[in-house]
Chains A and B, each alone.
Chain A
Amino acid sequence: MALSSWRRRRRTPPLPPATSSSSSPRGAAPPAPTSAATSPSPSPSSTPSTPSSTPPRNVLAFWLLGLANNSPYTIALAAANELAAGAVGSIFFTAVFPALLLKLTTPFWFPRVHVNARAAAAALMALTAFPLLAAATKGIKEGGGEGSRGGGGGGAAAASATSSRSVLASIALLSFQGGLGEASALAAAGSYPHPRVVLGAWSSGTGAAGPVGFSFLMLFHVFAKLSLRATMLLALFWPALWLVAHFVILRPPPPRGPDSEEEAAAAAAAAEGEGAVLGAGGGAIELSPLSASSRPLSAAAASASAAAKKEALDPEEATGLLTPRAAEAGEDDEERGEARAKKGEQGAAAAAAAAAAPALPSSSSVLPSPSSSSASPLWAATSLPKGFLATSAHVASLWPFAVPLFLVYFAGEGGQENRPLSPFFSSPPPSERKKERKKERKKEKTQLFFGWKKI
């Protein structure tokens, strides 16, 4: 395959694909951590010594988190398509936009809310949504079923309207849950020492969620012929699994400080040497693709902690890279005022360049940067942005990652979540359809017999 030629030469893949032949995700996920010892992106100082490789239980936990996060959404959407047959457009909107809006807000409150609280909140949403959906199922079944079929008096129509409203509400809740769960789990993955391993496990779990969610419905709703209501209640299994994966299986990441002590020292030395070489212009966010992306994480983390030791950097100064206004926005922050006063106000760009330089000890040595503006991007900062504008500026600076991801779906029929299930479940299962046809034929016969209907 052509993809294999994309392998980056600089790094050895942590695991040869040959071992990946086992297609079972549970079997596939655990092998990753064994190779994790070699995977921590090789640093130029070549100290992959961190003994703390990712434990298998964390890999399993992230795989289960991915599965448990996306399955509810898949299941509920299929169910909703069966229930509120007429309202595809509104279902689409309620399925997509709550998650989108919630994810937009995450940079502003995630640092202040503990990951456990976020995980619990996501589970709570799913735990609320499924009973709601089950209740709505009942309402719709009583209301003459599938309002699109046109039957039913006023009362029945009203009942089905309220229940289709609660179908939409539960879909919105599950969309919130999926968005919150995804953002939260991705953020959590970032706090583990080998994020590529746990992120791989997470995304594998989310990839499995489509087929697994489908199988779930197949198994209980079609084969076991459970009602949709019972199936929705059974789907409470997924938030339960999410809670178990997060609170029981997953172990918190090791504390950040001590594990990279030597590297920090080494990087600090490197930073001392190169700290004098400052980037010229502060205006450019974009770095040459080699520098930041190929920069090994361990060295980067080390340099981060080294910089933290050296009385850290002001967030305001880092944001000065993007807009002076952003820097101003952060200035009402009093805590770091002294440090800034020490350095003096020399214009945002210059300060930002000075601040950013020690954060990138290796980038200037690894590659002779082609452009004169070797300023680091905002996401290479070593402090959290403060204030609305600074945070927004940081988020905007992530566009080299966000835009390709944004565009990558657009031939793929939408997300993996909402498409494939619908053709199987939007129409009633064959047995029900047969029954309905029989009923209709009977009705027609009686109508003919009594002469109600003229042909």
Chain B
Amino acid sequence: MGGKKFELPTKTEYVCQAGVWSALGGPDAAERDRFYKYANWLYQAGVFLSRTFGGWLRLSRRQLWLLPAAQGAFLVLFAAAGASAAAWAGLAPRLLPFPLLLVPAFAVGLLGGLGYVSTFSLLAESVPFAPLRQVSLAAVSVADSAGIALADAVSVAVQGCLYRAAGIPGAAFKCGWI
């Protein structure tokens, strides 16, 4: 299974299936795929809803910080669910059935979209001088791209470790030195 540095093993059915959510859903690959699809759809729905209506919440600058804090908590929750599923193979799904995890997946989408719209709205209302406002809005959009890059890197790393813990083959990152 040689190939380029970033090549996935060819047997993985889904190519870009990185992320914590791809490790959730159960021991069966088909179940995991199903969970991944539903979670991502709900995530999308959450992003759309909060990007559409989140501007009306008018968060303050201090409240903006609550969003990444909540996201961090959710990441821990998902990682714990994945890891515990590996630890108690049969038991965990009964303790925390995976469909229940779709609710926080939706919430993660809501928070992400809310972060986007409220950051830019608040910024636009904070910078009084119009030309400077334009520059600032464009400049802060760097954080959007950089955040996505970071999230992708984090999710690949976490996925690798969860896959390793659960004994699932096919992660891009092996969570180890091998």
Residues of A that sit less than 8 Å from B by CB: 3-4, 6-8, 11, 13-15, 17, 20, 25, 28-29, 41, 81, 85-92, 96-97, 99-100, 103-104, 106-107, 110-111, 148-150, 179, 182-184, 186-191, 195-197, 199-200, 203-204, 206-208, 210-211, 256, 289-290, 292-297, 300-301, 303-304, 359, 379-385, 391, 394-395, 398, 400-420, 422-424, 426-427
Contacts and interface: CB of A to CB of B under 8 A. Distances in A.
B167 interface: no
Given A300-B125, A422-B17, 19 more contacts: A29-B52, A85-B10, A86-B3, A86-B8, A88-B18, A89-B7, A182-B141, A182-B144, A196-B125, A197-B55, A210-B47, A289-B62, A293-B122, A382-B129, A409-B115, A413-B43, A415-B144, A415-B151, A419-B19
B17 A409 contact: no
A418 to B, nearest CB: 7
Interface string B40-69: 110111011111111111111111110110
Contacts of B28: none
B142 A187 contact: no
Given A179-B145, A304-B130, A186 B58 contact: no
B71 A409 contact: yes
A208 B138 CA distance: 21
B130 A423 contact: no
Contacts, number: 373
Contact of B122 (A103, A186, A401): A401
A410 B155 CA distance: 8
B83 interface: no
Interface centre among B4, B48, B111 (most CB of A within 10 A): B48
Interface centre among B36, B43, B145, B146 (most CB of A within 10 A): B145
Contact of B68 (A8, A25, A408): A408
Given A13-B56, A191-B134, A289-B61, A96 B36 contact: no
Nearest to B120: A199
A422 B58 contact: no
A14 B122 contact: no
Interface of B: 3-8, 10, 13-21, 33, 36-37, 40-41, 43-45, 47-65, 67-68, 71-75, 78, 108-109, 111-117, 119-152, 154-155, 172
Nearest to A377: B126
Given A189-B137, A401-B140, A416-B109, A422 B145 contact: no
B176 to A, nearest CB: 18
Closest 10 CB pairs of A and B: A89-B6, A300-B128, A207-B51, A408-B115, A407-B68, A415-B148, A195-B124, A420-B40, A411-B75, A200-B55
Contacts of A256: 130
Contacts of B150: 406, 409-410
Contacts of B18: 88, 414
A200 B40 contact: no
B64 A383 contact: no
Contacts of B127: 190, 300, 379-380
B126 A412 contact: no
Contacts of B54: 200, 203
A411 B85 CA distance: 19
Interface centre among B8, B50, B53, B56 (most CB of A within 10 A): B56
Contact of B14 (A89, A190, A301, A422): A422
A6 B67 CA distance: 12
Nearest to B5: A89
Given A86-B8, A200-B117, A412 B43 contact: yes
